Every structure is written in C-alpha cells, then in structure tokens.
Amino acid sequence: MKKTFLKVSTTKALGLVLCLAALPLATMVSGCAGDRYHQSTGQVIDDEGITMRVKSALAGDADYKYEGVQVQTFKGTVQLSGFVNTHAQKGRAADLARGVENVRDVENNISIKD
C-alpha cells in the first residue's frame, strides 16, 4: 500500500511541476501576439520609433515650434494632440507627421488656442 501511495503522490507532483513549468512558456507565446486592441512586442518597438521620428520632425520644423503638441502612435496611426496658435500650424503638424516613414494614418486632434 505504501508503494501505491508513493507512486500516486509522485505522479501528482510530477504533473503539478510540468503544469507550472508550462505556464511561463504559454504566457510568453501568447503574450507576444497582438490583436485589434493590443500591440505585439514588435509593434510596440515600431510605434516607439515612429513616435520619436514624428517628434523629431516637429521639433526640426523651421517655421513653427510644437512644444504644446503630444504624439502617440498605435499600430502605425499617429495621434497628435495639444495646442497650437493657428490653423496653419495644425495643418503643418499633420503634414510633417504624414511625411514620416511607416506612418499609416494621422489623427490630428490638435486644438487652436483662442
């Protein structure tokens, strides 16, 4: 009877260890994939690069300064928000963002100061 009990306990323990060991692997595999509402790891990296290039393009513009404009990117779509002084500045910011490599779309939510 002792051997049977020991065999069952060992089998259960081994099964528990295998399940616990498989959990991080399953998390890593499913954690890297993106869907409609979540980015994959690669998309996060790509979007961070796009955001930095858009910010650089805005900062490098000779005509306007865009200190009050925030830039966020999700799956290649750039969202501009914040405040500028004129409609021309708002349009120019969107044009600069569209000119950046790998930008799929621009949502221009910049507001004009009154």
Residues 77 and 57 in one domain: yes
Residues 61 and 20 in one domain: no
pLDDT digits (tens, 9 = 90+) for 78-106: 999 999 999 999 999 999 999 999 999 99
- Whichever domain contains 98, its CATH number is 3.30.1340.30
d(CA 53, CA 76): 12
Nearest one of 78, 57, 77, 58 to 67, comparing CA atoms: 58
d(CA 36, CA 48): 18
Q: pTM (2 decimals)?
A: 0.69
pLDDT digits (tens, 9 = 90+) for 22-45: 666 555 555 566 667 787 888 899
Nearest one of 89, 87, 96 to 55, comparing CA atoms: 96
Residues 41 and 68 in one domain: yes
Q: Tally the domains of the chain.
A: 2
Q: Give the domain extent around 64.
A: 35-112
